[in-house]
Each structure stands twice: as structure tokens, then as C-alpha cells.
Structure 1
Amino acid sequence: MGRRTLVAVTRPDGRYDCRIAHWGVDADPVAQSRPLGSDWPASAVLAALDATYEQLVLLDGSVRTYAVCWLDPTLSDIDDIALARTDDPDAFRTWWVDRKDEVCRALDSEDRDPASVRRALLASLRDRAASVHCPDDASFLRGDR
């Protein structure tokens, strides 16, 4: 199964050269990806992400990985995502898939409101991840170490 990854390389002028990998990345994100676009502002990097991506890798002197987490429990809004910083993307993805399945089953069986389920998912992310960012918050692109 693919692991679609957006790789954003910070330029000296604060813009980004972006690359895409369909099978994920590990030791060398640039070598494992192909060019997607150059000279992007932070807003364009975030606009490119949706639930079809599994992760964002940011190269800015260090390598930071963010899991793309689909929050919409109704599975209808592909843009309803949050980015969760993680040092172990595989373990985080396993946890997230299990957590999302759990709350979606509760939505089906307990007649819960989708908005409350979404809030519960976001709270779970905030408890688990080093940092969590919604797609309207580009501040992490400038560093959240």
C-alpha cells in the first residue's frame, strides 16, 4: 500500500521546494521523492495537503515528520485534517488508525454526534503527538521544535 508523502524543503527566503513520494520516505527524503513544485509559500504547502496524504516531511536543517490525520468521522470531508508531529511515523500511524476506527465504531453504535467525535479525535491527537496543527496554522513550518 502506498504512503503518499509531501516533502517540503525550506529555502533561504522562507519559501519551499516541494516533492512527492508515493511509497513514503525514510533516510533520504529528497532522493526518495520527485519534484512537485518550487518556490511555494507556506500557504501553498498546507493547501496541497488533504486526507490522501499519509505524512508531511519538513526539511529545514533537520527532518521533522508530521502524520496527516483525517478528523472527519463521516469520511466525507477530505480537507478535514490535522498534522501531528511524530518521531515514529509507523507507530503513530498504527495508533491513529486504531483510534479512528474505535471512535467511528462508537459513532455508528452509540448514535453520537459527528462533531463530538471529531473533537474527541482532535483531543486524542493533542494528548499523543509532540504538536498538533490544523491546516490554517502554518506556524509550525517556521519551527515548532
Structure 2
Amino acid sequence: MGRRTLVALARPDGRYDCRLAHWGVDADPITQSRPLGNDWTAAAVLATIDATYDQLVVLDESVRTYAVCWLDPTLSDLDDIVLARTADPDAFRTWWVDRKDEACRALDSEGTDPANARRALLASLRDRVSSMHCPDDASFLRRDR
């Protein structure tokens, strides 16, 4: 299964050159991806991300990986996401898929309110990750956090 990854290479002028990888990235995000566009603003980088992406990799002085976490338990709003910073993307993805499956099952079999399921997913994330970012705040892209 594909793992769409947006790779954002920070430029000295505060803008980004972006690349796309359909099968994810590991040791070398640049050679594992293809050019997508140059001279993007931080806001443009984040505007590109929705639930069809698996992760965002930011390359500046370091390599930072953010998992794209789809919060909508009804599976209808592709823009209902948060970005969760993780040092171990594979372990995190396994954990997140389990949480998301639980939320969807609760919605289907127990009649859980979608808003409550979403809140529970968000709370689980807050307890698990070092940092979490909403897609309307690009400030975390501008420096290593």
C-alpha cells in the first residue's frame, strides 16, 4: 500500500521546495521522492496536506517527520487532520491505525457520537506525541521544534 509523503525542503529565504513520495521515505527523503514544486510558502505546504497523505517530512538543519492523523471518524472530511511529530513513524502509524479503527467501530456498533469519538482521538494523540499541530498554523515549519 502506498504511503504518500510530502517532503518540504526549507530554503534560506523561508520558503520551501516540495517533493512527493508515493511509497514513503526513510533514510534519504530526497532520492526517494520526485519534485513537486519550488518556492512554496509555509502556508502553501500545509494547504497541500489532507487525509490522503500519510506523512510530512521537513528538511532543514534536521529531518523532522510528522504523521498526518485523520481525526474524522465518519471518514468524510479529508481536511480534518492534525500533524503529529514522531521519531518512529512506523510504530506510530500502527498505534494510530488501531486508535482510528477503535473509533470507527465505536461509531458503527455502539452508536458513539462522532464529535465524542473525535475528541477521544485527539486526547489519545495529545498523550502520545511530543508535539501536535493543526493545519492552519504553519509556524512549526519555520524552525526546529
TM value normalised by structure 2: 0.97
Q: Which amino acid aligns with 1:125?
A: L
Unaligned runs of 5+ in 1: none
Q: Which 4+ runs in 1 deviate beyond 3 A?
A: none
After TM superposition, give the deviation of residue 110 of structure 1 in Å: 2.1
SS at match of 2:7: strand
Q: TM-score, normalised by structure 1?
A: 0.97
Q: Does structure 1 conserve the Cα–Cα contact (< 8 Å) formed by 2:62 and 2:144?
A: no
Structure 1 residue aligned with 2:126: 126
Letter in 2 for 1:3: R
Q: CA deviation at 1:143?
A: 2.7
Residue 32 of structure 1: aligned partner: 32
Q: Which runs of 5+ in 2 are unaligned?
A: none
Q: Cα deviation per residue 1:59-83 (whole Å; 9 max; x = unaligned)?
A: 0110000000110000000111110
How many Å separate the matches in 1 of 2:138 and 2:123? 20
Residue by residue over 1:94-138, the C-alpha shift from the partner in whole angstroms, topping out at 9 and shown as x without a partner, is: 000001101111112222211111111111111101111111111
How many residues end up aligned between the 2 structures?
Answer: 145
User: Cα deviations across residues 23-77 of structure 1 (Å, max 9, x unaligned)?
Assistant: 1111110111000011000110001001110000000110000000110000000
1:103 aligned partner: 103
* Aligned Cα root-mean-square deviation (Å): 0.9
Q: Secondary structure at the match of 2:52?
A: coil
